[in-house]
Homo-oligomer: A and B are copies of this chain.
């Protein structure tokens, strides 16, 4: 419409649509073999225990469960999160989804043109948020050689300095990254934290998958390495249920205070009833009981996907072997274009997310992200057979 021609803000020009969400608008996920999305398996939602917990919350809190509440989150949930992660409660802000955590951090830290450093590839929803505030996003590729990895970051930091720009923060998913499935070693975390100290920027550590570890030992969070410089974001979406849209931010009270004031005008407070349900679920031990089952289920699915790839993928295709999380990352031979291939795959009935979308520099054209949490084993098996057949025909 003509009347909207000059109405929108400058930020709007930098918004971009999630290609993942656009896929979901077009197809019914249950009608195809979907390795796209980061949906938990619906099997992991303990319906009867949730029903019981909801009824208990109504008995225990009555009207209070449906009233307005504190902007920081209800005390019961803040306490439960603080206890679980061993941090003081004044360092806990409940967020209306961990996506909101990313967005509000960007809002309180970034001016247009400020640099946000991240991995290349990185989480799409975070890139959307950074873009929407007109941040200058610089992605640095991982390298298994720690010195080479550090030098890549140092080169980018020099370049930013030459351009007279400012790095506001580094955004990282150190555990079972979305999209790659890979984790940072302790040495890599230490290296990045010391770069942040030396070059004086903050770190936003996004950690929605951390508790979904299927093998190996937990690695200390980046937050634990410098609790004043790192903002740690967590989520109930992968350890409980995404439908409640609840997450948390753990940070120095001075940072949380800005987030708190911002959140007043964003949405006043997180959903109250949902917070009480999450608090009851956590403090009663039901969350941990259910999480153990989720981990066992997903470990089986990861193992299945790895063995299916081994069995069916044509030569020249490589993939990551994540120790946890929901995703692995496939690399096809050079020259393959996963965006172009996508329509063919979808026509045949199988969906993935092209890796290019996760790369701020638009590289990674020959990569794709596969999710292994959503589909049932039989469907995953048929889906990989189909995808492998299509890729073999292509090569």
Number of copies: 2
In A55-100, the 8 Å CB interface with B consists of: 55, 58, 62-71, 96-97, 99-100
Residues of A whose CB lies within 8 Å of any CB of B are 1, 3-4, 7-12, 15-18, 21, 24-25, 37, 39-40, 42-43, 45, 47, 50-51, 54-55, 58, 62-71, 96-97, 99-100, 102-103, 107-111, 114, 125, 128-129, 131-132, 168, 200, 202, 228-229, 237, 241-245, 252, 254-255, 258, 261-262, 264-274
> Are A241 and B66 touching (Cβ within 8 A)?
yes
Residues on the B chain within 8 Å of A108, using CB: 8-9, 11-12
Taking A15-B262, A271-B271 as given, write out 9 further A-B residue pairs in contact, using a Cβ cutoff of 8 Å, ordered by the A residue number. Answer: A9-B109, A39-B67, A42-B67, A65-B243, A68-B242, A69-B243, A96-B267, A100-B266, A129-B265
Q: Among the interface residues A55, A68, A99, which one has the most CB atoms of the partner chain B within 10 A?
A: A68
Q: Among the interface residues A25, A99, A200, A237, which one has the most CB atoms of the partner chain B within 10 A?
A: A99
> Are A255 and B24 touching (Cβ within 8 A)?
no
Residues on the B chain within 8 Å of A103, using CB: 265-267
> What is the bound-complex CA distance between A11 and B1, given in angstroms?
30
Residues on the B chain within 8 Å of A261, using CB: 15-17
Known A8-B108, A99-B266, A100-B266; judge A68-B50 contact (CB<8 A): no
> What is the bound-complex CA distance between A168 and B10, given in angstroms?
13
Residues on the B chain within 8 Å of A17, using CB: 261, 264
> What is the bound-complex CA distance between A83 and B16, given in angstroms?
31
* Minimum Cβ distance to chain B for residue A21 (Å): 6
Please tell me which one of the listed residues B65, B125, B168, B202 contacts residue A265 in the complex, with CB atoms under 8 A apart: B125
Residues on the B chain within 8 Å of A237, using CB: 68
> Are B129 and A9 touching (Cβ within 8 A)?
no
> Are B64 and A42 touching (Cβ within 8 A)?
yes
